[in-house]
């Protein structure tokens, strides 16, 4: 407006208050062009939202001309609008701010793409999990350095294609390790002993890798869950009792043929959790019925617990035979020893493997000293409380004095310790009986060296069904087994009449492999030792403890349609027809 104009001053409405009516057109006002219809325009630029009023230039604050009252001016009856405070800095229009944000997002995206292209080739980039170039052999070679140590078990795989897949999975595991490395201060006995969860989660990642890359071995998507506490003790604490040796054999065979094993300690909530992640892959849960956080009954499938573990997938493991405690049927009881019975048993027998020692570890009988190895790892096995076969411990010194006259250098040896606490030891001192040389606790290799130098193994009543007598026979060493009978002579030749035997499975063998002697009978003890020293035997393994038999048994177990068998049992049970043994059988949910 020219200075000194007679036109009254009219305040314009600021742009920010578009909801109020626009200023009335003054002299010389030109109407804006019509706004295009953005819903029908095909021009991308026309889709930008536009203001309904023409742009209003920034206003300046001008003083009112002298002699005029703006509010009461007769010439201007339009309302006076409050003026928006001035900003100290210039702000770009809204449409420009939106474009700046849009271009900023594009720039940030480009920076991310450029930075990712400079990361190592092993970084997981496959949608959801793994790099797509895992299938590229050349790329995989870059992530698989020559120093990778492949497990010796891979060389035992007969199929070349299976060996190659196993090696590929080792390479994948090496590539993933930097991204899934556990905290070094986590796990182990001092941190809750949750190592089994870390192992299981690694195996689940391994399953995901092989499925995503089409490199699964033939049986890899068939899963077995270990839920037995002694299996956990063997794997994580080196326990080598009977259950530990059985776990070792089963694991060796399952891994040889590509099956997946998941560890769950005796943690039933974790077994349930694992099963619900991959229910179609889980073929068997091998566990005891109780655990540290509840038992099997709390996690089985029922009409009111549809996400429970189906009973037909749960196999009750007990090292000792003839325990029928499955709710489904006989075959759902898994045992490591066959035992002895004139009647056919229907439990699932998965033995541990017994093999003859290599030639370098075998000493011909005639080169061994006249040494009898006593099977006992704790001193208390010689004393009341563990049902010793000879409670009068002087029998050993007496037998030694007799036999050393016939067999120069004869001696009894044992490898044991006193495992009781200090208070118990002070209250009731125990020591290895006279006439026996104690070698102390030995490693597995030391035990086998001593065994290889012996001519007989003597049982003293405990432990029962130990694997050690099988091992002794594989070295060509006869076993002397104490027994007791429930009926008088002469029926003692029938093992079914024996009330107790230290090794029920070996009831099937007789002299010169196994000498069955009466508990507490010192004369029979001396006679049996004399026969064993005078009649060497060849190396021997029971046919159903061999690797061939065990692998066939495990293969049949994994290939059996347990669901179909359980359905037939359940159908009969609902009709009142019971085909299974045991007091624990009930109706169950498929």
Tens of pLDDT, residue by residue over 430-487, are 888 899 999 988 888 888 899 999 999 999 988 889 999 999 999 999 999 998 865 5
> Which residues contact residue 371 at a Cβ distance below 8 angstroms, ignoring those fewer than 6 apart?
410, 411, 412, 413, 453, 454, 455
Residue 530 has a pLDDT of: 96
Q: Is the pTM of this model over 0.75?
A: no
Decide if 243 is inside a domain: yes
Percent of the chain with pLDDT over 70: 75
**C-alpha to C-alpha distances, 407 to 40, 375, 534, nearest whole angstrom:** 113, 21, 9
Q: Which residue do the tokens 């118990």 mark?
A: 424
Between CA 520 and CA 523 the distance in angstroms is 9
The answer on pLDDT for 342 being more than 70 is yes
CA distance 548 to 353: 9
**How many Å apart are CA 539 and CA 83, to the nearest integer?**
110
Residue 167 has pLDDT above 80, yes or no: yes
Q: Over 80: is that where the pLDDT of 119 sits?
A: no
Same domain, 342 and 431: no
Q: Decide if 98 is inside a domain.
A: no
69 found inside a domain: no
Looking at the structure of the chain, the number of domains it has is 3
Local structure of residue 305 (DSSP, 8 states)? B
Same domain, 389 and 536: yes
> Bridge-partner residues for 518, per DSSP?
483
Domain-located, residue 92: no
Backbone angles phi, psi at 431, to 5 degrees: -145, 160
Tens digits of per-residue pLDDT, 251-309?
999 999 999 999 999 999 999 999 999 999 999 999 998 888 899 999 999 999 999 99
Average pLDDT value for the chain: 79
By C-alpha distance, which of 56, 111, 65, 59 is closest to 85?
A: 59
Max avg pLDDT among 38-42, 341-345, 560-564:
560-564
How many CB atoms within 10 Å of residue 230? 19
- Examine residue 228 and state whether it is found in any structural domain, yes or no: yes
Same domain as 579, residue 508? no
Which pLDDT score, from 0 to 100, does residue 487 have?
Answer: 55
Asked whether residue 424 is assigned to any structural domain, the reply reads yes
Same domain, 457 and 505: yes
Q: 415 and 511: one domain?
A: yes
Share of the chain above pLDDT 90, in %: 41
SS3 341: coil
Rounded Cα distance, 551 and 564, in Å:
23
Q: Looking at the domain assignment, is residue 533 inside a domain?
A: yes
Indicate whether 130 pLDDT > 50. no
Residue 75 domain-assigned (yes or no) = no
Rg (C-alpha) for the chain, rounded Å, is 42
* Strand, coil or helix: 384: coil
Residue 193 has a pLDDT of 64
| Pair (292, 387) in one structural domain | no
The answer, yes or no, to whether residue 32 has pLDDT greater than 50, is: no
Residues 517 and 555 in one domain: no
**365 and 312 fall within a common domain:** no
pLDDT of residue 59: 42
Same domain for 372 and 331:
no
Q: Do 532 and 392 share a structural domain?
A: yes
Statement: residue 335 has pLDDT above 90: yes
Tell me what pLDDT residue 92 has. 63
Instruction: Tell me, yes or no, whether 475 and 505 share the same domain.
Output: yes
Q: Whole-angstrom Cα distance, residue 206 to residue 214?
A: 12
pLDDT, tens digit (0-9, with 9 covering 90-100), for 485-513: 655 554 567 777 777 888 989 988 999 99
Tokens representing residue 461 in the block: 């009543």
570 in the same domain as 498 = no
Find the domain containing 179 and state its range: 124-192
Q: Report pLDDT digits (tens) over 66-86.
A: 444 434 444 444 454 445 544
Higher-confidence position of 571 and 127 = 571
Q: Cβ(352)–Cβ(244) under 8 Å?
A: no
Looking at residue 185, its pLDDT comes to 67
Three-class SS state of 98: helix
CA distance 286 to 557: 12
- Domain CATH number, residue 522: 3.40.50.2000
Mean pLDDT computed over 189-217: 84
Average pLDDT of 526-544?
95
Distance in angstroms (rounded) separating the CA atoms of residues 56 and 53: 8
Would you state the pLDDT for residue 178? 83
């Amino acid at each position: 407006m020219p200075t000194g104009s007679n036109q009254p001053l009219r305040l314009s409405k600021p742009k920010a208050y578009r909801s109020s009516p626009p200023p009335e057109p003054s002299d010389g006002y030109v109407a804006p062009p019509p706004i295009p219809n953005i819903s029908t325009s095909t021009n991308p630029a026309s889709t930008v939202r536009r203001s309904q009023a023409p742009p209003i230039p920034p206003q300046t604050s001008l003083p009112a001309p002298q002699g005029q009252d703006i509010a009461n001016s007769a010439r201007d009856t339009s309302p006076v609008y409050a003026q928006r405070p001035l900003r100290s800095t210039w702000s770009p229009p809204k449409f420009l701010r939106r474009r700046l944000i849009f271009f900023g997002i594009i720039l940030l995206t480009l920076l991310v793409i450029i930075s990712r292209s400079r990361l190592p080739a092993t970084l997981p980039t496959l949608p959801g999990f793994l790099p797509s170039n895992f299938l590229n052999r050349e790329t995989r070679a870059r992530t698989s350095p020559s120093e990778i140590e492949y497990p010796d078990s891979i060389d035992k795989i007969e199929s070349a294609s299976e060996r190659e897949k196993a090696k590929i999975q080792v390479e994948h595991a090496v590539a993933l390790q930097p991204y899934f490395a556990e905290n070094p201060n986590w796990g182990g006995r001092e941190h809750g002993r949750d190592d089994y969860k870390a192992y299981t989660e690694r195996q689940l990642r391994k399953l995901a890798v092989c499925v995503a890359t089409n490199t699964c071995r033939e049986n890899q998507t068939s899963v077995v869950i270990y839920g037995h506490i002694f299996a956990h003790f063997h794997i994580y604490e080196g326990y080598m009792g009977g259950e530990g040796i059985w776990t070792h054999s089963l694991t060796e065979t399952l891994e040889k043929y590509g099956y997946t094993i998941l560890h769950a300690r005796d943690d039933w909530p974790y077994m349930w959790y694992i099963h619900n992640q991959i229910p179609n892959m889980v073929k068997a849960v091998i566990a005891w019925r109780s655990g540290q956080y509840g038992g099997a009954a709390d996690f089985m499938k029922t009409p009111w617990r549809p996400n429970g573990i189906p009973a037909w997938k749960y196999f009750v493991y007990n090292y000792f035979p003839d325990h029928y405690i499955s709710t489904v049927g006989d075959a759902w009881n898994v045992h490591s020893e066959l035992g002895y019975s004139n009647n056919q048993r229907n439990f699932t027998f998965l033995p541990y493997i017994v093999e003859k020692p290599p030639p370098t570890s075998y000493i011909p009988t005639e080169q061994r000293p006249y040494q009898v190895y006593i099977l006992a790892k704790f001193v208390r096995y010689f004393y009341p409380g563990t049902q010793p076969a000879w409670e009068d411990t002087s029998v050993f010194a007496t037998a030694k004095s007799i036999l050393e006259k016939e067999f120069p250098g004869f001696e009894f040896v044992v490898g044991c310790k006193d495992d009781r606490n200090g208070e118990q030891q002070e209250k009731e001192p125990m020591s290895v009986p006279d006439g026996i040389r104690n070698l102390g606790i030995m490693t597995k290799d030391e035990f086998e060296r001593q065994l290889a130098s012996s001519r007989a193994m003597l049982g003293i009543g405990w432990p029962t069904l130990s694997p050690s007598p099988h091992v002794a026979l594989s070295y060509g060493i006869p076993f002397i087994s104490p027994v007791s009978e429930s009926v008088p002579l002469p029926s003692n030749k029938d093992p079914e009449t024996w009330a107790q035997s230290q090794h029920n499975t070996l009831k099937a063998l007789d002299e010169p492999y196994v000498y069955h002697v009466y508990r507490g009978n010192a004369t029979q003890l001396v006679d049996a030792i004399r026969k064993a020293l005078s009649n060497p035997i060849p190396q021997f393994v029971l046919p159903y403890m061999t690797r061939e038999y065990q692998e066939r048994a495990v293969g049949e177990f994994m290939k059996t349609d347990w669901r179909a068998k359980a359905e037939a049992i359940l159908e009969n049970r609902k009709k009142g027809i019971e085909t299974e043994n045991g007091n624990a059988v009930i109706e169950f949910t498929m």
